[in-house]
Amino acid sequence: MTLFKVLSYGKGFKGQAIWASVCSIVNKLFDIAPEILIGIAIDVVINQEDSFVANLGVVDPKEQLYLLGFLTFLIWAGESIFQYLYMKNWRELAQKIQHRFRVDCYGHIQQMDMRFFEDQSTGRLTSILNDDVNQLERFLNIGANDILQVVTSVVAVGAVFFLISTKLALLAFSPIPVIILGAFYFQRKAEPRYAEVREKAGQIASAINTNIAGVATIKSFTKERHEKKRISAISDEYVMANESAIKISSAFTPVIRMAILTGFLATFIVGGLDTLNGDLAVGAYGVLVFLTQRLLWPFRDLANTMDLYERGMASARRILGLLDEPIHIKDHAQAENIDLSGNIEMEDVTFKYESQTSAALKQINLTIKAGETHAFVGQTGSGKSTVIKLLMRYYHAQQGQVKMDGVLIENINIVSLRSQIGLVSQATFLFNASIFDNIQYGNEQATEAEVLKAAKLAEAHEFIVKLDQGYQTTVGESGVKLSGGQIQRIALARALLKNPPILILDEATSAVDNETEAAIQRSLKKIADGRTIILIAHRLSTVVHADQIHVLENGEFIESGSHETLLKNQGRYHQLWSIQTGGV
Ligand SMILES: Nc1ncnc2c1ncn2[C@@H]1O[C@H](COP(=O)(O)OP(=O)(O)OP(=O)(O)O)[C@@H](O)[C@H]1O
């Protein structure tokens, strides 16, 4: 059950949960005590020297009243103190649990396989980490306390009722089964509606996220009105989902109120008649009438609690669903840390993306010796980047083997593998931080001199120092304050700083001008010694110096060799080269 799973997240905070529960219960006991004191006070003014208090030893009615006044003061003070304590403790617990959920969820998302992210919208994930966790926090803040306090009042008030009059106790309790049945009915009706509300909230977040990220495209196509309408339509769906939940939750309180009224009237009239007949003392009658309210009114708040509970559980199910998503690519027990020297082998590797009907790579065989530079060229969609994704172990090949230094890639610890590959991918991502920090991300131990050296090798230093704040310039999310070529050079510097034995550049210099690219090539030559380099480029001038160039077509290597050999072969590479150099 969702609630138990949520509560099991509170393991480790058991002591505080018990203390918070005690505070909730004591507060409730203090809360119902004044009603009993009112009854006793009525008894004092009516029976004076024969009152209940007089029997305890305080005979003077005035003194009895002073005593009751003093007790009332203590009770109110106690109630206030315990209210402070339960609120503080439940809220602190809610904070701890929501924090744990958020951080665990985030950690889990980060570990998910790349294929998981292909079907997910960032908006949905952010809405789970933000909105759903907050929703759950709201329930945890007050929900547990509300439930405990309702139970406490039923037990404590019930005890007083049964002590005074069993008949009236049964009458006062009669609406409770109706209320509980109503609550279950409400819960069953509300559950799917709140699930729908959470789903719609996720869709809104997703649409807004995408649109803000793509605002330049929206503007360039002057689609602002269209997009506003689209967001408005999704927002309308959210409103409609909420309206349907509101209808059912709003009906709950009035229905409960009528049930409460029945119990109250029964005590009021039957108890009154008993008092008139002399079967019930006036003070006791007063206590019962006031206590019926104390017994039944909390059930009215149950509607809000149930509402909060349903919303909270709908959110919890989304959070737990995310946490239950299996991680397919992970280290197995025998995975080792290996110091790679840069030998790479692929044997008969065939790989198909789940969503595709045909394989992206077919029977690929590749041998790269440590220190060599290899390049992959070929038409768009031919499978070049997919080779890299397999080397990074983002995906798992359905057939064949990938080895590094003779060790199966699955037997290498993922952190060890990825930390020894410097990848500059097509989709470069910079963090919303300073340029310095973005480069240093490649190696957090790197000194300032090392960061500058990497930037110089990547031909980035010159443009960085010309910026207003130099290395301290903050780049916007995805580096929007920089040009495409500048972003690529920062990403390259970041990868170089990692000083990896394997460096993979997937269209890493596609956006820089020819002159800068030539300078980067010269830098790369300097650092290529003892390092395996894999290049992917459409611009063939980038790859002419590679030891081996592999031409891919439809997921197959159709030609391999050095630039000169491939030109001599007069095959596909020759054709591509001729097109690019204007020979055709
Ligand atoms: N995440 C994915 N899910 C499903 N199919 C994919 C995915 N990524 C790539 N593909 C498909 O796999 C094939 C190979 O894609 P890949 O990105 O490896 O090509 P590429 O040669 O690197 O192309 P480009 O030069 O355009 O970068 C393409 O048909 C592509 O549609």
Q: Which residue has the tokens 């079967």?
A: 279
Strands 548-553 and 373-378: parallel
369 with 414, same domain: the answer is: yes
Listed residue (187, 437, 414, 409) closest to 310, CA to CA: 187
The pLDDT of residue 307: 76
Same domain assignment for residues 355 and 319: no
H-type helices in 214-281, by residue range?
215-220, 224-276
Q: Determine which residue's CA is closest to atom 12 belonging to ligand 1.
A: 360
pLDDT of residue 440: 93
| Predicted pLDDT of residue 479 | 59
User: Quick one: DSSP state of residue 506?
Assistant: E
- Give the span between the Cα atoms of 374 and 395, in whole angstroms: 21
Is residue 102 in some structural domain? yes
Using DSSP's 3-state secondary structure scheme, residue 380 falls into coil
Q: Compute the radius of gyration of the chain from its Cα atoms.
A: 36
pLDDT, tens digit, 9 for 90 and up, residues 76-119: 999 999 999 999 999 999 999 889 999 999 999 988 888 888 77
Would you say the CB of residue 385 lies under 6 angstroms from ligand 1?
A: yes
Ligand 1 contact, 359 CB (< 6 A): no
Identify the pLDDT of residue 480: 61
Whether residue 352 is contained in a domain is answered as yes
Report the 10 Å Cβ neighbour count for 188: 11
Nearest CA residue ID for atom 17, ligand 1: 385
pLDDT confidence of residue 64: 85
- Predicted confidence at residue 425, as pLDDT, reads 85
| d(C-alpha 134, C-alpha 301), whole Å | 21
8 A C-beta contact, residue 75 and residue 34: yes
Residue whose Cα lies nearest atom 5 of ligand 1: it is 353
113, 116, 385: residue to mutate for ligand 1 pocket, most atoms within 8 A of CB = 385
Q: Is there a single domain that holds both residue 124 and residue 249?
A: yes
- Do the Cβ atoms of 311 and 197 come closer than 8 Å? yes
Separation of alpha carbons 516 and 523, rounded Å: 11
Distances (CA, A) of 255 to 53, 92, 244, 260, 262: 40, 34, 18, 9, 11
Residues 247 and 305 in one domain: yes
Task: Kindly give the interhelix angle for 133-164 and 282-324, rounded to the nearest 10 degrees.
Answer: 150
Alpha-carbon span 193 to 42, nearest angstrom:
49
- Which of 324, 354, 370 is a domain's end point? 324
The total of structural domains in the chain comes to 2
Give the tens place of pLDDT for each residue, 375-404.
Answer: 999 988 999 999 999 999 999 999 999 999
Token pair 């580096």 in the structure block, residue: 479
Q: With a cut of 0.95, is the ipTM above it?
A: yes
Please check whether residue 521 is in contact with residue 458, taking contact to mean a CB–CB distance below 8 angstroms.
no
Q: Which domain holds residue 185?
A: 2-324
Q: Answer yes or no: is 403 within a domain.
A: yes
Q: What is the pLDDT of residue 126?
A: 86
Ligand 1 touching residue 531 (CB < 6 A): no
Q: What is the spatial distance between Cα 584 and Cα 580, in angstroms, rounded to a whole number?
A: 8
Residue among 565, 36, 9 nearest 291 (CA): 36
Q: Which residues of 371-404 are buried (b: 16+ CB within 10 A; e: fewer)?
A: bbbbbbbbeeebbbbbbbbbbbbebebeebebbb
552 Cα nearest atom in ligand 1 = 21
> CATH number for the domain including 26?
1.20.1560.10
Atom nearest to 386 CA in ligand 1: 18
For the Cβ of 539 lying below 6 angstroms from any atom of ligand 1, the answer is no
Q: Which helix (H) or strand (E) holds 375?
A: strand 373-378
**Quick one: pLDDT at residue 584?**
55
Residues 168 and 279 in one domain: yes
Do 348 and 314 share a structural domain? Answer: no
Q: Which of 296, 324, 352 is the last residue of a domain?
A: 324
Query: What single string gives the DSSP state of each residue in 386-415?
Result: HHHHHHTTSS--SEEEEEETTEEGGGB-HH
Structure tokens at 113: 């396989």
Residue 335 lies in a domain: no
User: What's the CATH code of the domain at 475?
Assistant: 3.40.50.300
Q: Which residues pair with 366 in a beta bridge?
A: 346
Closest listed residue to residue 197, CA positions, set 250, 133, 131: 131
Taking alpha carbons only, the member of 307, 314, 309, 196 closest to residue 256 is 307
Structure-token pair, residue 65: 């009243």
pLDDT by residue (tens digit) across 15-42?
Answer: 888 999 999 999 999 998 888 888 888 8
Instruction: Please report the atom of ligand 1 found closest to the CA of residue 118.
Output: 1
How many Å apart are CA 310 and CA 296, to the nearest integer?
22
Same domain, 263 and 348: no
Tell me, yes or no, whether 169 lies in a domain.
yes
Most ligand 1 atoms within 8 A of CB, residue of 350, 351, 352, 356 to mutate: 356
Which ligand 1 atom is at minimum distance from the Cα of 115?
1
Element spanning 4, H or E: helix 2-8
- Cα–Cα distance measured from residue 446 to residue 497, given in angstroms and rounded to the nearest whole number: 8
The rounded distance, in Å, linking the Cα atoms of 235 and 368 is 53
Cβ atoms within 10 Å, residue 332 = 8
Looking at the fold, whether 274 and 394 belong to one and the same domain comes out as no
Tell whether 526 is covered by a domain.
yes
383 lines ligand 1 (CB under 6 A): yes
The residue whose C-alpha atom lies closest to atom 9 belonging to ligand 1 is: 386
Task: Say if residue 177 is in the same domain as residue 248.
Answer: yes
Q: So what's the pLDDT on residue 306?
A: 77
> Which of these, 283, 39, 30, 37, lies nearest to 153 by C-alpha position?
30
Pairing relation of β-strands 502-506 and 532-536?
parallel
- Same domain? 439 vs 495: yes
For residue 162, the model assigns a pLDDT of: 87
Residues 26 and 168 in one domain: yes
Query: Same domain for 318 and 348?
Result: no
Distance between CA 13 and CA 549 in Å, rounded? 59
Can you tell me whether residue 559 is helix, strand or coil? strand
Residues in the chain predicted with pLDDT less than 70, given as ranges, are 303, 477-480, 583-584
Distance CA 546, CA 566 (A): 12
- The secondary structure of residue 582, as a DSSP letter, is T
- Return the DSSP state at 430: -
Residue 99 placed within a domain: yes
Q: pTM for the whole thing?
A: 0.76
Q: 331 in a domain, yes or no?
A: no
Q: Is 358 in the pocket of ligand 1 (CB under 6 A)?
A: no
